[in-house]
């Protein structure tokens, strides 16, 4: 599910590879968390996370998650927020090559990384949680606001609207937009530059710069998972999610 390549001295490339759409399942998130932890234990000095061409991640694997009982769904939230914590507290820089579409959960992962390079093209990214019946978790909104500012974060979060890479660049959600064939290369180039910097100075400055992000996870506890479960199994969210799955099935049928 995660392809791990030591692409340059001190630089690891982690490529999401879960067919067909890199949807975030419990297994994929656990594999990503383990790969990030392994990279930090090795002599890795910077990490890049990428998807396949045209698609970074389709977000949460809603059809699968709708089959889980409350205990399994609670375990999923623990894994999901655990990955965000790993990204936020990573001892080495983590960049994201957003290789294409990256709605909802895909964009959420990128919020907690050090930088985001997006592929140019007719792609959509952003946080559309409201549209699919989920309130945005406080730490996700805080990380979103940290990147694009309070007013823009309010507008985009409340609207639940997905945006183009160019609009994401204009509002600060991504740091660069480059041709799709160059997106991984550009993210790796930045990782190489960061890996070449004096290690102690880089680590100390990243800790200072990302202290607000790390602090969000000091309050991570069981109450959040229970709250997320209560919302997930609520009538409104279940109806919205099942309607989403039905729309996706219709689109797939129309393409076949």
**Chain centre to alpha carbon of residue 29:** 10
Q: How many CB atoms lie within 10 A of CB 99?
A: 27
Q: Are strands 11-16 and 2-8 parallel, antiparallel or unpaired?
A: antiparallel
Let me know: does 152 contact 163? Beta carbons within 8 Å: no
Let me know: does 42 contact 195? Beta carbons within 8 Å: no
Question: How high is the pLDDT of residue 254?
Answer: 76
Domain ranges of the chain: 2-218
pLDDT in tens, 70-90: 999 999 999 999 999 999 999
3-class state of residue 224 by DSSP: helix
- The pLDDT of 231-254, averaged and rounded, is 87
Question: How high is the pLDDT of residue 204?
Answer: 97
Kindly tell me the burial class for residue 250, based on how many C-beta atoms sit within 10 Å of its own C-beta (0-12, 13-18, 19 or more): exposed
pTM for the model stands at 0.95
Q: For residue 139, give every residue at least 6 positions away whose Cβ sits within 8 Å of its Cβ, in sequence order, or none.
A: 81, 84, 216, 217, 219, 220
Q: For residue 135, give every residue at least 6 positions away whose Cβ sits within 8 Å of its Cβ, in sequence order, or none.
A: 129, 231
Q: How many CB atoms lie within 10 A of CB 125?
A: 28
- The pLDDT of 144-165, averaged and rounded, is 96
**DSSP at 159:** H
CATH topology of domain 2-218: 2-enoyl-CoA Hydratase; Chain A, domain 1 (3.90.226)
Q: For the chain, give the mean pLDDT.
A: 94
Tokens of 202: 């880089």
pLDDT at 255 over 80: no
pLDDT in tens, 155-201: 999 999 999 999 999 999 999 999 999 999 999 999 999 999 999 99
């Amino acid at each position: 599910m995660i392809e791990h390549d030591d692409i340059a001295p001190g630089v690891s490339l982690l490529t999401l590879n879960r067919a067909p759409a890199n949807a975030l399942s419990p297994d994929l998130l656990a594999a990503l968390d383990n790969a990030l932890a392994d990279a930090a234990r090795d002599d890795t000095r910077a990490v890049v996370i990428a998807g396949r061409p045209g698609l970074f991640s389709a977000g949460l694997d809603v059809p699968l998650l709708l089959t889980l009982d409350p205990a399994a769904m609670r375990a999923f939230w623990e894994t999901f927020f655990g990955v965000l914590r790993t990204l936020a507290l990573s001892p080495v820089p983590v960049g994201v090559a957003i290789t294409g579409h990256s709605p909802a959960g895909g964009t959420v992962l990128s919020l907690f990384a050090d930088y985001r390079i997006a592929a140019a093209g007719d792609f959509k990214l952003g946080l559309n949680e409201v549209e699919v019946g989920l309130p945005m978790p406080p730490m996700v909104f805080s990380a979103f606001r940290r990147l694009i500012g309070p007013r823009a974060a309010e507008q985009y979060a409340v609207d639940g609207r997905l945006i183009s890479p160019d609009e994401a660049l204009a509002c600060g959600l991504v740091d660069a937009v480059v041709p799709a064939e160059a997106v991984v290369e550009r993210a790796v180039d930045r990782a190489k530059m960061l890996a070449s910097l004096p290690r102690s100075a880089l680590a100390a400055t990243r800790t200072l710069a990302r202290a607000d992000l790390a602090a969000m996870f000091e309050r991570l506890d069981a109450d959040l998972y229970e709250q997320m479960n209560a919302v997930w199994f609520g009538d409104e969210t279940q109806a919205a999610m099942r309607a989403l799955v039905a729309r996706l099935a219709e689109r797939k049928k129309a393409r076949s």
